[in-house]
A = this chain, B = another copy of it.
Amino acid sequence: MNNSLNKNIEIAAVIGLGLIGGTFAYALRDNKIVSKIIGVEANEEHAKKALELGLVDEILPLDEAVQQADFIILATPVTIAATQLPKILENVDEQIVIDLGSTKFDIINSVKNHPKRGRYVASHPMWGTEFSGPEAAQHNVLRDRVNIICDKDDSDKDALEFVENFYRKIGMRLVYMNGEAHDVHLAYVSHISHITSFALANTVLEKEKEEDTIFNLASSGFESTVRLAKSNSATWVPVFKQNKENVLDVLNEYISQLRKFKSSLEKENWEYLNELIEGSNKIKKILK
Contacts and interface: CB of A to CB of B under 8 A. Distances in A.
A277 B207 contact: no
Task: For chain A, give the interface size range.
Answer: 35 or more
A129 B203 CA distance: 23
How many copies altogether? 2
Interface in A185-216: 185-186, 188-190, 192-208, 211, 213-216
Interface of A: 126-130, 146, 148, 175, 185-186, 188-190, 192-208, 211, 213-233, 236-237, 240-241, 244, 247-248, 250-255, 257-262, 265-266, 268, 270, 273-274, 276-287
Interface centre among A216, A240, A277 (most CB of B within 10 A): A277
Given A185-B213, A258-B251, A221 B128 contact: yes
Nearest to A227: B224
A141 to B, nearest CB: 10
Nearest to A262: B251
Nearest to A197: B225
A223 B128 CA distance: 12
Contacts of A226: 193, 283, 287
A190 B217 contact: yes
Given A241-B270, A255-B262, A261-B251, A280 B224 contact: no
A22 to B, nearest CB: 17
B126 A214 contact: no
Given A205-B279, A205-B283, A223-B287, A261 B217 contact: no
Contacts of A218: 126, 189, 286-287
B280 A222 contact: no
A258 B254 contact: yes
A253 to B, nearest CB: 5
Given A202-B276, A205-B279, A208-B185, A286 B215 contact: yes
11 contacts: A128-B219, A146-B216, A185-B217, A199-B258, A199-B280, A202-B257, A202-B260, A205-B280, A206-B253, A237-B274, A241-B268
Contact of A225 (B175, B185, B196, B211): B196
B201 A283 contact: yes
B229 A190 contact: no
A216 B175 contact: yes
A200 B286 CA distance: 14
B257 A215 contact: no
Contacts of A130: 221
